[in-house]
Amino acid sequence: MRTLLIAATLAASTLATTSYAGAQDFRQYPGFKDKDAFVEMTNDMGLIVEITLRCGRRANGKIKAGIMTYSKLERLYCSSQNRCYRDALKAADQTCGG
C-alpha cells in the first residue's frame, strides 16, 4: 500500500511538472490534507524528486520523518542511507528504519 502511495504521488508530481511548461521546482503536499498520509511532501527538482515520509509518531506525539529520493533518469529510489533500489518500498523501509 505504501508503494502505491509513493508511486501515485510521484506520478501526480511528474504530470504537474510537465503541464507547467518545464517548471524547475514543483512541490506537492499530500500530507497537508490527509494527516495519516505516508508521503508528507514531494519536491520535484527536475531529474530528482525528493520525498519526505512520515515514518511514525514518537512517544511525545511528534512525527518522525525521513527523506528519500527518486531519480527519474536512473529510475531508482534511494534511501537516506544512500542505498538505491528499483523498489520504492525497500528504500522507504530503510529510510524509516524498518
91 has pLDDT over 90: yes
**Residue 32 grid coordinates:** 497537508
HSE value, Cβ hemisphere, 13 Å, CA-based, for 31: 18
Cβ-proximal residues to 42 (8 Å cutoff; 6+ apart), any chain? 9, 10, 13, 27, 28, 30, 49, 50, 51, 52
pLDDT in tens, 11-35: 655 544 444 445 567 788 777 788 7
Percent of the chain with pLDDT over 70: 74
42 has pLDDT over 80: yes
Rounded Cα–Cα distance for residues 98 and 44 (Å): 25
Mean pLDDT score of the chain, rounded to an integer?
Answer: 81
- pTM assigned to the model: 0.70
